[in-house]
Amino acid sequence: MKKVFKFGCLPIVGLFILIAIVGSFMGGDDTTTTTSAPTDETEESINEPTEEEVTETVGIGETLELGEARFTVHGIETGVTEVGNQYLNKSTTGQFVLVDLTFLNEGTEAVMTDTSFFKLLSGDRTFDADGEASMYANDERSSFFLESVNPGMDRRGIVVFETPADASDFILEVQTGFWGSEKAQIVLE
């Protein structure tokens, strides 16, 4: 009886090869990590703040220092139902919240900014920035959409959030980089 090789196992083999390649790129150092049962010391360290937790809060007009980034909110406008011009615009049945801010790069290398660096908090709700509405709201200013900011340079622009009309008591959460390793808040009162 002759066995015929079927191609059905090729996706599985390909998956193992892909995992091996990704693993080799993520390898890092050659140290071995071991785990042990939690002790009082490790249980206490679980409650300590991590890099991803919010570290500082400031208000409008104050400069927030977050790593090598500086954020300053100049003002906020609420209750807006349409942004843009007669050709390019966006409207909402709720409200747009427009946050006028400056990002300053105090680092030694260019930083790529994006509207995903910003979240708007209202009570227990979190709103993402609306990239399209942000582009429409900024005529000649920065929309913070995938924009490179060189060292020592700043960008001022408006970040737009779409929220229900009754949302209020806003806090702007900012982060450094796309992965948000550092976060802080600016109270928008």
- Residue 46 has a pLDDT of 43
**Closest residue by Cα to residue 167 from 92, 102, 101, 114:** 92
- Residue ranges in the chain whose pLDDT is less than 50: 2-7, 9-10, 13, 15-16, 18, 20-39, 41-51
Quote the tokens at residue 54: 């919010």
pTM, full prediction: 0.70
- Residue 9 has a pLDDT of 46
Domains delineated in the chain: 54-187 (2.60.40.1240)
- Residue 145 has a pLDDT of 86
> DSSP code of 115?
G
Coil, helix or strand for 164? coil
- Residue 142 has a pLDDT of 80
- Residue 58 has a pLDDT of 93
CA pair distance 66, 72, nearest whole angstrom: 11
CA pair distance 33, 43, nearest whole angstrom: 18
Q: How far apart are the first and last CA of the chain?
A: 81
- Residue 25 has a pLDDT of 40
Burial 153-189 (b: 16+ CB within 10 A, else e): eebebbbbbbbeeebeebbbbbbbeeeeebbbbbebe
H or E segment and range at residue 92:
strand 89-105
